[in-house]
Chain A
Amino acid sequence: MQSVQYAAPTTLAQATQALQGASDAKILAGGTDLLVQMKLGIREPGLIVDIKRIPELTAFTLGEHGLHLGAALTSAILHDDAQVRARYPGFMEALGLIGSSQVQGRCSAGGNLCNASPAADSVPALIVNRAVCNILGPAGERSVAVEAFTTGPGKNCLGSGEILVSIDLPLPAPRSSDAYLRFIPRTEMDIAVAGAAVALTLDAAGVCTAARVAIGAVAPTALLVPAAAEALIGTALDDTALANAAAAASAAASPITDKRGTAEYRKKVVGVLVRRAALIAKARIEADS
């Protein structure tokens, strides 16, 4: 590794200042992507700005407005909160699929977003939860819907000197739940061949009144699929509705063929995952009511 400068600011103002002063700076959160990329020679930053000593970056609150998540908060800490697990089971199962127990001790939802892998597990789950990214930069604060945050493989919408500070997940409506499923050929420690997240709201009769469907690893970025959600809304999630949602998700997918699977296979399997994730979300709502 080349010689690298290291800064550990304790305020956001110091962090944005440090980032503006260097053209080859990288933000360090958990390091489970950045440090590996540096070891492999993929990235050679001149300055590393460690944001974990800024208190708001590693804090979270769960209240009436939902979950407010510091961008560098580790998955392990969030996973230890039973209320967060109960409110956002799909998001938490997606976040918990990233890497090993050791990786969970370092990785964060913010890091998963910023690294912008098309296969990032937590991103489809954030999308169906209507998450909003709060960004601070030289021009001030701005907020971006999570589905617009990643712009391509390894690319995100952060401009020069900007930091992803926090992520807000609104509180789910009553009789709502979510689920995330991915397909991997192993049982653990792998990267998604395809992934799907579904969030549903059902009325007392079991009719779906709101839905969000997002798919991962089948396009340059995770995708929100409104057509799949529309196929579910107004139905009791019968076989026809589920088949229509699956077909819409398959149609929206534009995967590549690589060592993990062929494009044709990924298009097929992502529809299957949408159908199964919808049934899991439905079962969670029924179990809670």
Chain B
Amino acid sequence: MLSEVLRNNLNLTGTKEGCNTGDCGACSVLLDGALVCACLVLAVEAQDRSIETIEGVAKDGKLHPIQQKLLEHAGLQCGICTPGIVIASRALLEKNPDPTESEVRYWLAGNLCRCTGYDKIIRAVMDAGATMRGE
């Protein structure tokens, strides 16, 4: 699986392994720009494709607004779901820069968090959207 190759062969351990059946979103990555679970992609399918992982989200030591807002809103506790949340919400905000709360909640329905109860995550993503829109 792509998730195993990322973690075990390439040492890119930011992509987490949760359910391993495509239900929890902890292994979210972009494959040719499409949001997918890396646990449901054969590594061989990714040959010659572009893969974006959490390791590429912060640039030059500067956190992405979504990462910054997750910290400010205390949108994480154990942190296992966080890389997947960041990848998924960044994909949403690039497609839809001004989503409603309902749209954020539906978009992130495939990213399970067992710590926060989601409210702080949703607030952080909404706030990051506002920051990215320059508000």
Which positions in A face B, CB cutoff 8 Å?
A: 6, 8, 28, 31-32, 35-36, 39-40, 48, 50, 52, 74, 76-77, 80, 99-106, 187-189
Contact = CB atoms under 8 A, between A and B. Distances in A.
A102 B110 contact: yes
Contacts of B23: 100, 189
A102 B106 contact: no
A209 B92 CA distance: 40
Contact of A101 (B1, B21, B41, B91): B91
* Interface SS majority for chain B: mixed
Interface of B: 1, 20-23, 25, 28, 31, 34-37, 40-42, 44-45, 47, 88, 91-92, 95, 106-111
B40 A76 contact: no
Which of the listed residues B25, B42, B44, B91 has the most CB atoms from chain A within 10 Å of its own CB? Answer: B42
A106 B107 contact: no
Given A102-B28, A102-B36, A6 B44 contact: yes
Given A50-B45, A105-B34, A32 B40 contact: yes
B88 A101 contact: yes
A31 B42 contact: yes
A105 B1 CA distance: 16
Given A52-B45, A106-B40, A99 B34 contact: no
Contact of A105 (B20, B31, B109, B111): B31
A112 B49 CA distance: 24
State the 5 A-B residue pairs at the shortest beta-carbon distance, nearest first. A100-B110, A105-B34, A188-B109, A105-B36, A102-B37
A102 B22 contact: yes
B34 A103 contact: no
B78 to A, nearest CB: 20
A76 B35 contact: yes
Contact of A99 (B31, B41, B91, B110): B110
Contacts of B28: 102
Contact of A106 (B20, B41, B95, B106): B41
B37 A39 contact: no
Contact of B35 (A48, A80, A101): A101
A104 B110 CA distance: 10
A76 B34 contact: yes
Contacts of A105: 31, 34-36
Contacts of B35: 76, 101-102, 104-105
Contacts of A36: 21-22, 40
